[in-house]
Structure 1
Amino acid sequence: MLSLPNLLTLSRILAVPILVFLLWRPSPVDYAVTFVLYCIVGLTDYLDGYLARAWGSISRLGQFLDPIADKIMVAAVLVMLISSRKANPVPEIAGLNIIAALVILLREIIVSGLREYLAGLQVSVPVSALAKWKTTLQLVALGALILGGALPQVPWVHGVGIICLWFAAALTLVSGYDYLRTGHRHME
């Protein structure tokens, strides 16, 4: 249970309140520290899976906690960034960015519920390649938005974050539809 991969996953969960605290006080220095921590959290996400596979120590706890850690971190950082005026420097379009964030959050809730329902039927739904791309794009978007807060004098970084956020929202819709279509077959 307390293998290194599981400890790395748990560290990601424990890092979320620190990320939220740092984003609560959005100064460029706080954003810079948040970006470094965010990168470390991303590295642990890669390492926990790599080490678990390399050492043959894939555990049920790890399989359970890994996606939860990802979703908690993405949801918390996304909410903090979108609610922050720093992440939405143009008030006229700030509301539109909230739509992209809601699409991402709602899909995560729906797919998690679907997975739980299907698990009760003993149906496994593996993560699709499209969902992995969606997650990667979400993580890049959030990283760029955090870095954009640390570098307000370089506005294109923030722009990259917003563009990636919208592409992630689009992939979120497509991959969510794929999961629902797969799940629907088992609901009849």
Structure 2
Amino acid sequence: MKWNLPNILTTLRLLAAPGVAIMFLYFARPLADWLALLLFLGAAITDWFDGYLARAWKQETKVGAMLDPIADKAMVLVAMMVIVGYSDANWIPWLVLPATVILVREVFVSGLREYLGDTAGTLKVTKLAKWKTTVQMVAIAVLFGRGIFEHYLGMSVWGMDQEMVDQIMSGEVEDTLNIRLMFEGLVWSGRLGLWLLWLAAALTFVTGADYLRKAMPHLKEPV
């Protein structure tokens, strides 16, 4: 492996994937949420920089091309596992379906590429697939942010009764401004995160179907 800067950044991003989960094993919340969010954001930023630098400096390598999508998938899937695992029971049903679509698609496309071997160039990363990865990472970052809001607020918006919601929004509870701001942050980060995650799942499904269509000529049995 050629150790140029783009490949080093890609390798660090791959190593950061399990680091997101490790944050929750060794640190208490909300510190674990903050560290996982910062680690994830740092990895997401390197995802853009390593590709840009490799092209700008003409340092593109076969190893880098192989590791880059693996690092992306590892980061997204580990982060999704952590978010689902540490979400409250009311939220899990809304997260599991899009997370499952993303997981199955990534495994399916990886299997296709492995099966096609030398002809895997048929499944080159498309612009839509790059947008899919971007939306996935933004959705995950927002959902990590929701976890931070929820921990500080000490309650789940899905578990509140209407009376409690009315009290918060009308200012009838202590520390009104802080609680109201955190409550609004929890609500909007949750909604935005879910919308983005479902959008990412839709893009994930479409790009997976596109890759399957392109691979079909190579999957036909000889007559």
Percentage identity across paired residues of the two chains: 40
1:15 is aligned to 2:13: no
Amino acid at match of 2:74: I
Alpha carbons 1:16, 1:72 under 8 Å: kept: yes
Number of the residue aligned with 1:54:
56
Tell me the distance in 2 between the aligned counterparts of 1:106 and 1:134: 15
Tell me by how many angstroms 1:52 deviates: 0.7
What corresponds to 1:101 in structure 2? Answer: 99
Counterpart of 2:169 in structure 1 is none
Verify the 8 A CA contact 1:27 1:149 in the aligned structure 2: no
Worse-matched range after superposition: 132-141 or 31-40: 31-40
Letter in 1 for 2:115: Y
- Answering whether residue 192 of structure 2 is matched by residue 160 of structure 1, we say yes
CA distance in 2, matches of 1:97, 1:135: 17
TM-score, normalised with respect to structure 1? 0.90
Cα separation, 2, equivalents of 1:60 and 1:38? 25
Provide the aligned length of Structure 1 versus Structure 2: 184
Once the 2 structures are TM-superposed, how far is the Cα of residue 10 of structure 1 from its aligned partner?
Answer: 0.7
Do the aligned partners of 1:28 and 1:150 also contact (CA within 8 Å) in 2? yes
- Describe the superposition over 1:44-80 as per-residue Cα deviations: whole angstroms up to 9, x where unpaired: 1111111111110101110011111111111111111
Give me the whole-angstrom Cα distance separating, in 1, the residues matched to 2:60 and 2:105. 27
| Aligned position for 1:179 | 211
Q: Are the equivalent residues in 1 in contact too, given 2:114–2:120 (CA < 8 A)?
A: no
* Superposed structure 1 runs of 4+ greater than 3 Å apart: 23-26, 120-123
Unaligned runs of 5+ in 1: none
CA deviations on 1:15-45 (whole Å, 9 max, x unpaired) are 1222111244562222122212211111111
How far apart, in 1, do the equivalents of 2:92 and 2:123 lie?
35
Contact 1:30–1:150 (Cα < 8 Å) also in 2 = no
**Residue in 1 that maps onto 2:75:** 73
In the TM superposition, 1:116-127 aligns within 5 A as 116-121=114-119, 123-127=121-125
- Residues 23 and 31 in structure 1, CA contact (< 8 A), matched pair in contact too: yes
Give the match's secondary structure for 1:163: helix
| Structure 2 stretches lacking a partner, 5+ long | 151-181
